[in-house]
Chains A and B, each alone.
Chain A
Amino acid sequence: MDLNIIQLDQNAIQLNESFTSSLSSLLTGKHIESISKSISTSIDQLDSFATHQWEIILHFMVGNYTHTPSKGVLFLLENSNLINSSKSSHNITSNGFQFLLQDVQFQLWQLLLQYLSLSQIRQMDLVEVTSFLFILGTLELGKDYSIDSLTITQQAMLSDLRDYGLIWQRKNSSKRFYPTRLATSLTSSAPPLLPTNSSSSFTSASNNKRFIVLETNYRLYAYTSNPLQISILNLFVTLKARYPNLVIGVITRDSIRSALSNGITAEQIIGYLSSHAHSQMYRNNPLLPVTVSDQIRLWELEKNRLKADDGVLYEDFRSQPDYEILLNYANSYDCVLWSNDSKRLFFVTLQGHQIVREFVKRRLPGGTGSASTSNSNSSTLSLPT
């Protein structure tokens, strides 16, 4: 009050106008004024652009290549370990599958965080990139902003952000940009994408999330016409038939194995099935047929029946105390993978070998260690390099 910052307005407290603007520019670093005062582009248009761009990315991840995202997006997806690219094909990874199960806001931030961590490789100033992202969150939907107030780095970011659907420009060389709902909701809890039509992937109604009926005979009925959901199912289900609002498929050993070989885990598949189970399925307890969920886990175990570890085997100990001293020492470094007391054998990891070898050199040959027995005096050692 004394500083004239707060004004009492009947019952409400109001901050002084110039103080407000200074404070917000202090918090956001810089404030960009919109060019035209009124809303200049239709919000519908921006929404459909954002949804379209975002769907391209998601569809691409599940192997639907009708539209290929730009090189920048591919680079980002590969580096965030969401897809695995070989020369001709792209495969979704375990991380990527997990990514698809999240809501849009989470996905967006995950991509942007990855973008930040890559910015240094791309010789972009981290501070400028970060501050631009925060500025984006404060912009107003439907208004246009001039690129003149942006730094060179930030102008370079525009084309990337356009690929992600965060901003829209009339032309690539346009001097103005329009933030979309993806950008303006960055720092708020409002939904980042609005459903634009019925086949959109982002219809948030809860009944649309529950569409899978799974039977004990491994048959799966998915009441959906959403291409993204169908593509996700296609990752681990052999689809048999498709009707306007229904997809029928079978879970087979081959279909699960192909998903597993992409790094998707059994738990992720079961998690996906149970979180999208049809409300009819909720009459069953447990939710998913036990035969199916157990079989999926068994198929995963089957893939990992063999485990191979690099390391070194210690053998030919002269005495039990020798063996025990060395084993205890190795155990204290948590590097013993296997040991057999009666045969006096143990196996350590490669890192552990370095430590144990040092110990052997120090303690056993000289017999100086107080804990070692007389037998260890005669211990000699032959070690591979």
Chain B
Amino acid sequence: MVKASKGILISCDPAVKQIILNLNDRKRFIIQDLDLQHILVSPDSVQTIKFEVEKELERNTFQILD
């Protein structure tokens, strides 16, 4: 039986995908884990994911002080 499910395809590099998987532990939004670089998530969660991923990446960047 063919099934079609609506969602949002997130394409990213494996590192970002890991961050997203970790986020999913707090609040479930992943519909299906497709492969290393793709995940299907529920449509209403994209803004939160983008925001959280940005926050996480920002935490891991360091500025040169002068």
Contact = CB atoms under 8 A, between A and B. Distances in A.
User: Do A and B actually bind?
Assistant: yes
B53 A305 contact: yes
Interface residues of B, number: 30
A306 B64 CA distance: 25
Given A313-B32, A383-B4, A308 B10 contact: yes
A345 B66 CA distance: 51
B50 interface: yes
A363 to B, nearest CB: 11
A317 B6 CA distance: 16
21 contacts: A252-B64, A253-B61, A302-B57, A305-B12, A306-B16, A307-B10, A308-B50, A313-B5, A318-B2, A326-B2, A338-B11, A338-B34, A343-B34, A347-B9, A347-B34, A364-B2, A381-B4, A382-B3, A382-B4, A384-B4, A384-B5
Contacts of B6: 311-313, 384
B2 A381 contact: yes
A337 B66 CA distance: 45
A337 B10 CA distance: 11
A379 B8 contact: no
Interface string A361-380: 00010000000000000011
A68 B50 CA distance: 36
Given A305-B53, A313-B7, A381-B2, A340 B12 contact: no
B2 A360 contact: yes
B22 interface: no
A52 interface: no
Nearest to A380: B1
Interface string A316-354: 111000100010000000000110100101010000010
Contacts of A252: 63-64
Contact of A306 (B4, B10, B43): B10
B13 interface: yes
Nearest to B10: A308
B12 A307 contact: yes
Contacts of B46: 308
